[in-house]
Amino acid sequence: MDYTWFLLGLVITILFLWGMLYLASRWIVSVDFASKKKSSLFISALIIVIILPLVAEGIGEILTIIGEIIVEGRNAIAPSGSNYLVRIVPVISFLVFLAILKFITNMEWRNSLWISLLGIILLYCLYSFFPELDLVTYI
């Protein structure tokens, strides 16, 4: 496997998310805040792009195991169960995204909520257009 394209995609994703977080914080909070927090926004983008997919994958695996146990218990009573527990992983990912952005950049909850909502929507769009950029596919 050629890791050159992976690293290039990783850098592009981090820079794209950093620019988007910077523009969103300029628009939602203030120009002065965004200018002061450039490095914090970059660290947030770095953590979100590298660590968040791995954490979400781990949480998804754990919830899949728990959900399958619940489904097997349900199917013992009446066979008609389905594992819906794993569908909460995007919500948990959003909450982790929100917490990372809030605590690293030290902004108010309402501002970090809107910025993280814009960020996760654009990150999902980016991963939909270029699925090769998702770190979990290389593990």
pLDDT at 4: 82
Four-residue CA torsion sign, 88, 91, 97, 101 = negative
pLDDT at 39: 93
pLDDT at position 138 over 70: no
pLDDT (tens digit per residue) in 7-36: 888 898 899 999 999 999 999 999 999 999
Give dist(CA 54, CA 32) in Å, integer. 33
Segments forming the whole domain that contains residue 118: 3-138
pLDDT at 139: 56
pLDDT (tens digit per residue) in 74-115: 888 878 778 888 899 999 999 999 999 999 999 899 999 999
Range 44-58 average pLDDT: 91
How many domains would you assign to the chain? 1
Continuous segment of H or E residues that includes residue 117: helix 109-129
pLDDT at 134: 67
pLDDT at 128: 84
